[in-house]
Structure 1
Amino acid sequence: MSDALPRRRLGRSGPEVSAIGYGAMGLSGVYGDADDAESTRLLEQLLDLGVNFLDTADVYGNGHNEKLISGPLARRRDEVVLATKFGADKETGGGKPDYIRQAVDASLSRLGTDHIDLYYLHRLDKTTPIEDTVGAMGELVGQGKIRHVGLSEVSAATLRRAHTVHPITAVQQEYSLFTREPEDDLLPTTRELGVSLVAYSPLGRGVLTGAFSSTSDVENLEVRAKRYPRFEEESLRRNIELTRPLREHAESLGITPAQLALAWLLAQGEDIVPIPGSRRLERVRANLEAASVNLGQDLVAELSAQFPPGAAEGERYQPEGMSRLDR
């Protein structure tokens, strides 16, 4: 598998990463209990399968996620392109230079490494000019603490301002058949500037996997619905129904809906790197097989038409979460 898993380059001069990376957030109890020993084994197995791009953040489990990754990282650091994030908690003054210097040292300590390959601003600090934030991140590059600068959930205008201060290697954004907003302004801008787009929640937080036939199939539905309106009962029922054409196409191709959804995303361009997350190895294996699925242009266009922008019912986050996004 490791020989077969394609690679894609982040940005114009960033590292080569597996075409499908891994988002580790779910290993810190976000969607239900996770066993650390099993999670560590999963991370080791991911590396064995050729996944070299691991994504975490200081806020996942209040540092637990970074500490969890530190085990496999210590044994196999040279195999990993490590991405982590800072600044999700608006109470910390997340984009202020002094805070950034503290945050990176704390992450390095938890991760047990001397450098972070890709360091993202998790959410824009609207009280701090992006130029100041990215200037401080550029200083960290000069110090060798981080290798590349990234941003998450930013507008095209903010990206342009940031890129004038220090080259941005990647922007992390929610992007899937259910969430196509990046196509409006952001993707044209990332392509103009030579910035990759790392797609989180590429499977619509599980809905696009086809695993849910009714609302009762969703693990910890109440927890999800509190944060994500698309999981409120009526919205979820409609969103499950929306996946019918995806399931039908997948069945006709002899692949899973998740593989088809990921293959559609990969077909949007070589600069797109999805980072699905699962706690089950068999699902991870299946996700990776999507990198070898070649879709015809007609099917890509048909899926795009069947899942037009705005098709999913409900906002991505509750109002407080939406207010943190840079639109």
Structure 2
Amino acid sequence: MRQVKLGLWGPMVSEVCFGSLAISPLQGRVTEAEGASVLRYALEQGVNWIDTAEIYDNYAQIAAAIKGYPDVRIISKAYSVTALEMRQSIEKARTALNRETLDFFLLHEQESALTLKGHTEAWEELLRAKEKGIVRWIGISTHAVAGVRAGALQPGLDVIHPILNYQGLGIIDGNLPDMLEAISFAAELGIGIYAMKIFGGGHLTHDPKKAVDFVRCIPGVQAMALGMSSREEVDYNLLLLSGKDIPTHLRDKVRHRERKLYIADWCQGCGNCLEACPQGALRLNERVAVVDNEACVLCGYCGRVCPHFCLKIV
């Protein structure tokens, strides 16, 4: 698999980062053991880094999958605001993943300079952890153009994980040209960039080659995180990236698998999911949550905050 350097001072990694949200309890598509098996299969094929987050609640799953792969790199993220919260998030990851040193740790879903300012204590704790050698590289994930621009100017930042696809789906401010301009700005500063949601949460899977080629052609974007929950998806994506022919049976099995956000009929209309959705894809209609499928990118964050377990990616 093609190896890339993540920014000017980042490590060499595979072009594909395994996006573990797809095998996490947040999406509930596979069991913990099944997900670990898929992840291990991806590692056997040459994928050598994994994207996760505290919110995904799958550290134990990853720890089980990476046994025998001491060199695999792991990126995690947290919503921590205070220094104490960040210390706790870092220690939770170190303990659960059985790692003395974490490769990457990011502030999760930063939207702007104002958001980053509100997380100043947490960021300063990340800087201290980096100085102590507890974390090697630090950064942010973001669905916002302003988040990329603010992150690029954040002292000590090494990597940005932005939403990026050829239709600009999921960008919560601005548009695709704005996002490309912000990414170019960050790349000129030497920051490592790996894209998320290149298939637009499943909306762009009708032309996966176009989606992959678009991201690959953007200067400054070195890699991409791909969510995969089956061996077939691993095989399909790696063949796609290698430029090799994809067998018809494999193409049909993977591309015809449509997913959606399911909202159970026992929804109580509490509205928690609306606040948790970064895309504004949910609303209440007659005190029941409904989803705008065009806006939903199938992240599953809404399901985490539902007290009645009404929401699930299926």
| TM-score, structure 1 as length reference | 0.66
Q: CA-to-partner distance for each residue in 1:31-52, whole Å, 9 max, x for gaps?
A: 3431222212111111111101
The separation in 1 between residues aligned to 2:45 and 2:208, in whole angstroms, is 18
**Does 1:288 pair with 2:238?**
yes
The separation in 2 between residues aligned to 1:272 and 1:318, in whole angstroms, is 33
Q: CA-to-partner distance for each residue in 1:87-107, whole Å, 9 max, x for gaps?
A: 1xxxxxx22222111110011
* Alignment correspondent of 1:31: 27
Structure 2 letter corresponding to 1:26: A
Which structure dedicates a bigger proportion of its chain to helix? 1
Q: CA-to-partner distance for each residue in 1:50-80, whole Å, 9 max, x for gaps?
A: 10121000101xx2x11110112232121x1
Deviates more, 1:173-182 or 1:134-143: 173-182
* Alignment correspondent of 2:297: none
The separation in 2 between residues aligned to 1:123 and 1:270, in whole angstroms, is 20
The separation in 2 between residues aligned to 1:151 and 1:182, in whole angstroms, is 18
Per the TM alignment, residue 112 of structure 1 is displaced from its structure 2 partner at its CA by: 1.6
Which structure dedicates a bigger proportion of its chain to strand? 2
* Alignment correspondent of 1:171: 160
* Alignment correspondent of 2:82: 96
**Does 1:260 pair with 2:210?**
yes
Per the TM alignment, residue 318 of structure 1 is displaced from its structure 2 partner at its CA by: 5.7
Structure 1 letter corresponding to 2:81: G
The separation in 1 between residues aligned to 2:51 and 2:141, in whole angstroms, is 12
1:182–1:109 CA distance, 2 compared to 1 (3 A): farther
C-alpha contact (below 8 Å) 2:9/2:190 kept by paired residues: no
**Does 1:10 pair with 2:6?**
yes
C-alpha contact (below 8 Å) 1:259/1:286 kept by paired residues: no
Q: Secondary structure at the match of 2:27?
A: coil
* Alignment correspondent of 1:208: 204
1:73–1:59 CA distance, 2 compared to 1 (3 A): same
Per the TM alignment, residue 142 of structure 1 is displaced from its structure 2 partner at its CA by: 1.8
* Alignment correspondent of 2:93: 107
Q: Secondary structure at the match of 1:13?
A: coil
The separation in 2 between residues aligned to 1:127 and 1:209, in whole angstroms, is 33
The separation in 1 between residues aligned to 2:128 and 2:50, in whole angstroms, is 23
Match for 2:127 among 131, 138, 143? Answer: 138
Q: Secondary structure at the match of 1:29?
A: coil
**Does 1:269 pair with 2:219?**
yes
CA RMSD of aligned residues (A): 2.5
C-alpha contact (below 8 Å) 1:115/1:145 kept by paired residues: yes
Structure 1 letter corresponding to 2:88: Q
Q: CA-to-partner distance for each residue in 1:98-156, whole Å, 9 max, x for gaps?
A: 21111100111111211211111003383844554332211101222211011111624
The separation in 2 between residues aligned to 1:181 and 1:68, in whole angstroms, is 38
* Alignment correspondent of 1:224: none
The separation in 2 between residues aligned to 1:208 and 1:20, in whole angstroms, is 18
1:27–1:182 CA distance, 2 compared to 1 (3 A): farther
Q: Secondary structure at the match of 1:275?
A: strand
The separation in 2 between residues aligned to 1:293 and 1:258, in whole angstroms, is 12
Q: CA-to-partner distance for each residue in 1:166-207, whole Å, 9 max, x for gaps?
A: 1x2211111112323663442122122111222111111112
Q: Secondary structure at the match of 1:51?
A: coil
Q: CA-to-partner distance for each residue in 1:265-318, whole Å, 9 max, x for gaps?
A: 112135331111121111211112233349xxxxxxxxxxxxxxxxxxxxxx96
Q: Secondary structure at the match of 1:282?
A: helix
* Alignment correspondent of 1:197: 193
Unpaired segments of 5 or more residues in structure 1?
A: 88-93, 211-256, 295-316
Per the TM alignment, residue 10 of structure 1 is displaced from its structure 2 partner at its CA by: 1.1
1:323–1:287 CA distance, 2 compared to 1 (3 A): closer
| TM-score, structure 2 as length reference | 0.69
The separation in 2 between residues aligned to 1:158 and 1:264, in whole angstroms, is 24
Unpaired segments of 5 or more residues in structure 2?
A: 169-175, 245-272, 281-314
C-alpha contact (below 8 Å) 2:33/2:61 kept by paired residues: no
1:274–1:193 CA distance, 2 compared to 1 (3 A): same
Match for 2:73 among 69, 76, 81? Answer: 81
Deviates more, 1:126-135 or 1:24-33: 126-135
Q: Secondary structure at the match of 2:159?
A: strand
* Alignment correspondent of 2:268: none
Q: Secondary structure at the match of 2:29?
A: coil
The separation in 2 between residues aligned to 1:156 and 1:201, in whole angstroms, is 15
